[in-house]
Structure 1
Amino acid sequence: MLFCVMPAAVSLVCKTPYRPLPRPLAADGDGEASFTYDSVQRRLPLIVESVIDKNSYSEALQADLRSLAGEIAAGEPLKPLAAPSAEWEDALAPLLAAGDTWLSAPWFVVENYLYKRMLELTDGPTGGADPFAAQKAESLDGAAAAFADMLSAGLTEGEMLADDTGELCAALEAAGGEEVVVVLDNCGLELVSDLLLVDGLLRCASPPRRARPVFVSDVVEADLAPTLAWLEEQGGGPLAGRLRDALADGRLLVESPEFYTGPLPFWEMPDELHARLAEAALVLTKGDANFRRLLGDLHWPHDTDFADLMREYWPTSLAALRTCKSGVLATPS
Structure 2
Amino acid sequence: MAAGHVLIPPPSLSAKFEGSFAYLTVRDRLPTILTKVIDTIHRNKNNFFEKHGEVGVEAEKRAISFLSKLRNEMQTDKPVLLLTDSASDTEEWNRYMQRQQDLMEDGQPVSWFKSPWLYVECYMYRKIQEALAHSPPISDFDAFKEAKTESFFESQQAVVSLCTYLRDVLSTADTTDKNCLHDHFLRLLQVSLWGNRCDLSISCGQENSQKCNPMDSLHDLRRFILVDDSARVWSVLTALHGTETPGVRVDIVLDNAGFELVTDLILADFMVSVGLAKEVRFHGKSIPWFISDVTKQDFDWTLSQTAASNHRHMSSCGVQWKRHLKDGAWSYHDHRFWTLPHEYCDMPADAPDLYSALQGSDLILFKGDLNYRRLTGDRMWEHTAPFERALRGFLPAPLCSVRTLKANVQVGLEPGRAENLGSQDADWMISGKYAVIQFCSPLREQQQGL
- Bigger shift: residues 81-90 or 261-270: 81-90
**In structure 1, what is the equivalent of residue 143 of structure 2?**
131
Highest CA radius of gyration, 1 or 2? 2
How many angstroms apart in 1 are the aligned matches of 2:20 and 2:282?
28
Q: Does 1:220 align with 2:301?
A: no
Indicate if the aligned counterparts of 1:171 and 1:282 stay in contact, CA closer than 8 A: yes
TM-score by length of 1: 0.83
Equivalent-residue separation in structure 2 for 1:67 and 1:175 (angstroms) = 55
Q: Which has the higher contact order (CA 8 A, sep 6+)?
A: 1
Q: Deviations over 1:55-90 (max 9, x none)?
A: 325234223222222222232221111146332122
Indicate if the aligned counterparts of 1:24 and 1:297 stay in contact, CA closer than 8 A.
Answer: no
State the match for 1:299 in structure 2.
Answer: 380
Question: Structure 1 residues 310 and 19, CA, compared in 2 at 3 Å: closer, same or farther?
Answer: farther
- Secondary structure of the structure 2 residue equivalent to 1:280: coil
AA aligned opposite 1:147: Q
Cα pair distance change 1:279/1:329, threshold 3 Å = same
Q: Are 1:24 and 1:107, in contact at CA under 8 Å, matched by a contact in 2?
A: no
Structure 1 residues 321 and 90: alpha-carbon distance in aligned structure 2, compared to 1, 3 A threshold: same
Moved more, 183-192 or 172-181: 172-181
Equivalent residue for 2:318?
240
Which of 253, 267, 271 is the equivalent residue of 1:183? 253
CA, structure 1 residues 302+295, in 2 after alignment: closer, same or farther (shift >3 Å)?
same
Contact 1:77 1:102 in 2 (8 A): yes
User: Comparing 230-239 with 264-273, which one deviates more in the overlay?
Assistant: 230-239
1:297 CA displacement? 1.1
Q: Is the 8 A contact 2:368 2:404 kept in 1?
A: yes
| Contact kept in structure 2, 1:22 and 1:299, CA below 8 Å | no
- Other structure's SS at 2:210 match: helix
Counterparts of residues 1-333 of structure 1 (less than 5 Å): 20-22=16-18, 30=23, 36-37=24-25, 40-55=26-41, 56-57=44-45, 58-83=60-85, 85-96=90-101, 98-124=108-134, 127-144=139-156, 146-149=209-212, 151=214, 153-154=217-218, 155-174=220-239, 176=241, 177-205=247-275, 211-218=278-285, 219-232=294-307, 233=309, 235=311, 236-269=314-347, 270-310=351-391, 312-331=393-412
Aligned residue identity for 1:20? K
Q: Are residues 162 and 321 of structure 1, via their aligned partners in 2, closer, same or farther at CA, if it must alter by over 3 Å?
A: same
Deviation per residue, 1:95-135 (Å, 9 max, x gap): 34641211210111111111111101113376422222222
Q: State the percentage of identical aligned residues.
A: 27
Q: How much has 1:311 moved relative to structure 2?
A: 7.7
For the 8 Å contact 1:291–1:322, the answer to whether it is kept is yes
CA distance in 2: counterparts of 1:299 and 1:100, whole angstroms: 21
Q: What SS does structure 1 have at the residue aligned with 2:28?
A: helix
Cα distance, 1:299–1:317 mapped onto 2, change above 3 Å = same
Aligned length: 304
2-structure distance, mates of 1:153, 1:276 = 37
> 1:54, CA displacement in angstroms?
2.4
Residue segments in structure 2 that go unaligned for 5+ positions in a row: 1-11, 46-59, 103-107, 158-208, 242-246, 286-293, 415-450
* Counterpart-to-counterpart distance in 1, 2:72 and 2:240: 49
Structure 1 CA distance for aligned equivalents of residues 404 and 279 of structure 2 = 26
Which consecutive segments of 4 or more residues in structure 1 shift more than 6 A? none
Code of the residue aligned with 2:82 in structure 1: it is P
Q: Equivalents in 2 of 1:46, 1:298: separation in Å?
A: 24
